[in-house]
Structures are given as structure tokens and as C-alpha cells.
Structure 1
Amino acid sequence: MAKSVLVPEAKQGLARLKNEVASEIGVPFKDYNGDLSSRQCGSVGGEMVKRMVKEYESTI
């Protein structure tokens, strides 16, 4: 199954959020992230989801 972007405009915003979260929690994201642990990447992804859910809940 091929990946398809549902909202292309969101890609830049998600990248910005990822970099913001990574810098805040001390994960060194850069062009190549193959040397990061699954735990580090999961921490960034988990925090991103928390923030997106919080933002959504504040609008309803």
C-alpha cells in the first residue's frame, strides 16, 4: 500500500512541530536520524500526538 498525503499543506507544519518537540526534549533530529533509538523517536512522536490532541480538544 502506497503512502498518500491527505493534506499536503500539513507536511511543513508537522515537520516544524517535530523539530520543535525534538529540541525541547533534547533529541538531536537532523537530516539523517538512523543513529537515534526507537525510544528517542517514540518520545518525539508521542509528544507530538499529545500536543495535537490537546490543541484539538481546546477547539471543541
Structure 2
Amino acid sequence: MKRLLRAAFSLNKYILYEKNKNYYIIFIYKAYFLPKYKNIETSIKKIFNYIKNNQF
């Protein structure tokens, strides 16, 4: 799970990139199964776009 999250994060971190702006994000995953990479990547993109659009 850690490897999948790290890969999805690395490939999509450009969504959050803004000069002079830092984000601290923690992901907590609680389930009994390992999801597919495509589902993780879709979720990461949704989270990043939500953060970017709502300016936390």
C-alpha cells in the first residue's frame, strides 16, 4: 500500500504545485484489501484537486 500511495503521489504532485506554498498531507488507509493502483490514483487526484480549489 505504501508503495502504491508513494507512486500515485509522485506522479500527481504537480497538481498542488504553487510557488511559496507548502502542504502537509497525511493519508490513512483502513481496509482489509489492497486496492488497485488506478483506484488509488483517482482518489489522489480528487484529493489534490479538492485541496487546490478550496485553498486550505
Q: TM-score range by the shorter chain?
A: 0.3 to 0.5
Q: Give TM-score, length-normalised by structure 1.
A: 0.40
Q: Give TM-score, length-normalised by structure 2.
A: 0.42
Structure (1/2) with the larger helix percentage: 1
Structure ranking higher on relative contact order (CA contacts 8 Å, 6+ apart): 2
